[in-house]
Chains A and B, each alone.
Chain A
Amino acid sequence: MNPAALRELVPAVIGVLVRRGADFASAEDAVQEAVIRALETWPDGSPSHSSGGAEPVRDPKGWLIAASWRRFVDARRAEESRRGREVAVAAEPPPGPTPVTDDTLRLYFLCAHPSLSPASAVALTLRAVGGLTTRQIAAAYLVPEATMAQRISRAKRRIAGESFDRSGDPATVLRVLYLVFNEGYGGDVDLAAEAVRLTRQFAALTDDPEVAGLLALMLLHHARRAARTDAEGRLVPLAEQDRGRWDTGLIAEGVEILQAALARDRLGEYQAQAAIAALHADAPTAAETDWPQIVEWYDELLRLTGSPVVRLNRAVAVGEADGARAGLAALEQVDPSLPRYAAALAYLHERAGEHVRAADLYAEAARAATSVPEREHLTRQAARLRHPRP
């Protein structure tokens, strides 16, 4: 019973407490406290019968339910004595069936409720569905633990009136999971891997080709992670990545999931993005990339989303498929205020052989970059063009 296995029990145990009559917010708090207790007191990751004994508990889930319920009852009693009223909660839980998978699915919808801000939905999802502790989430997002705790309790207050039993729109959940995925590493938690795990679980609970599409997209991106940065942590662009370091197992899985989703003929943005990622994954070398087909997928994606960012990426793909001039022409349809506009323009000018102009644009793009790795990468691009190796 390692911490990861413990975390997997969390949504089901919250569900059990809610089925026994606890409100979601109190149930979630009680389970979080029990998890923290477990992490502190199970030195080998397994619960023991007593503090002195080393015999592991056979039923960690039963232990977690019992410990959480006890905490819930204690908290309720404390609350009621504060208010000077009689305790109305039974110390022994009422019996009843516990439809675990349904509860877990509902937790996804509740934690991604549209009334929550993206940051709150992410935090609540990581705690209640992912089973992470507040401290881990705070470390991953580089904010104080107290701030993260407040963010989570506010989120819970905001959805306090929402029924636990209502389903929602999978698209809201997908947005939250994709945000988590894009955080990558942080603190001691690998958020990208956690997002993959949560999306895998969500896909198993739902029957929606877009959920499969996002899972495929994540797997195909995750497969390239080792190749995306070099030994010194510098960004390596797709065309220069060592494709031998791509995880072929993840790619095969992603492609298979994507093909099954596409076969259902209900295309959505995540499937289209995954299709583009799959075409990159398919190419043995960067030169063998099927750019015309990638442009077609960008056309689909643009039709589905109308997103200016997609239009920008499409222009770069057009530059690969039909030459830099065509790419630059496509870029003329793009809003120049987009964060990566200058970077795309620089790249296409370099491809067109205009190195002086490209270097200036890379420098401009570096100033507009929103992340340190990107800024450093763009700065090096400018430096490379301004100081060509003899």
Chain B
Amino acid sequence: MKYLLLKHYRGGPEPVVDYGTIDRWSPDEVDAHMRYMSDFAAKLQSTGEFVDAQALSPEGTFVRYDGEGRPPVTDGPFAETKDLVAGWMVIDVESYERALELAGELSAAPGPNGEPIHEWLELRPFLSNKAETAE
């Protein structure tokens, strides 16, 4: 079963460690963090559980339809948006417990002073595209 691990720049429960924003970290701390993330993805690749990973720019725009023959309306970006998605990883695992375990591990990525940042990650199950055959 597939799960989305959603990383937020903002939003979610109150952080338990004040790790600031990554642009305040030392270069070594940034490197260690990035290495942890890519090692994590590589490990999942080797266990046959990796599906996809993507980082998103914090700059986003809201877009909507504005009626026939008119260009779409845009709005934002909003500096004060409560929830801001930073990126995601998609995993394909045997169980919910395994998904929790992996999310916990990813949340232990190091931050300032090499300490785990205990970052909140959002775990969302995918809906399958297949209906069960049984009736």
Contacts and interface: CB of A to CB of B under 8 A. Distances in A.
Interface of A: 117-120, 123, 141-144, 146-148, 150-152, 154, 181-186, 192, 221, 235, 237-238, 273, 280, 313, 369-375, 377
Interface string B97-135: 000000000000000000000000000010111111111
30 contacts: A117-B94, A120-B48, A123-B48, A142-B2, A144-B50, A144-B51, A144-B52, A146-B50, A147-B45, A147-B50, A148-B48, A150-B46, A152-B48, A154-B47, A182-B130, A182-B133, A184-B130, A184-B133, A192-B133, A235-B131, A369-B127, A370-B127, A370-B128, A371-B127, A371-B129, A371-B130, A373-B129, A373-B130, A373-B131, A374-B131
A151 B48 contact: yes
Interface string B77-112: 000000000000000101000000000000000000
A371 B47 contact: no
Tell me the interface secondary structure of chain A in the complex: helix
Most chain A CB neighbours (cut-off 10 Å) among B48, B130, B132, B134: B48
Contacts, number: 74
Contact of B48 (A154, A182, A235): A154
Contact of A372 (B47, B94, B128): B128
A183 to B, nearest CB: 6
Given A154-B46, A238-B135, A371-B131, 15 more contacts: A123-B48, A141-B92, A142-B2, A143-B92, A144-B51, A147-B51, A150-B46, A154-B47, A183-B130, A237-B135, A370-B125, A370-B127, A373-B129, A373-B131, A375-B127
Contacts of B47: 150-151, 154
Nearest to A309: B134
Contacts of A192: 133
A250 to B, nearest CB: 14
B29 interface: no
A30 B51 CA distance: 26
Nearest to B129: A372
Nearest to B50: A147
A150 B131 contact: no
Contacts of B92: 119, 141, 143, 147
Interface in B47-67: 47-52
B45 A146 contact: yes
B99 to A, nearest CB: 13
Contact of B45 (A123, A150, A280): A150
B128 to A, nearest CB: 4
Given A151-B48, A154-B47, A118 B94 contact: yes
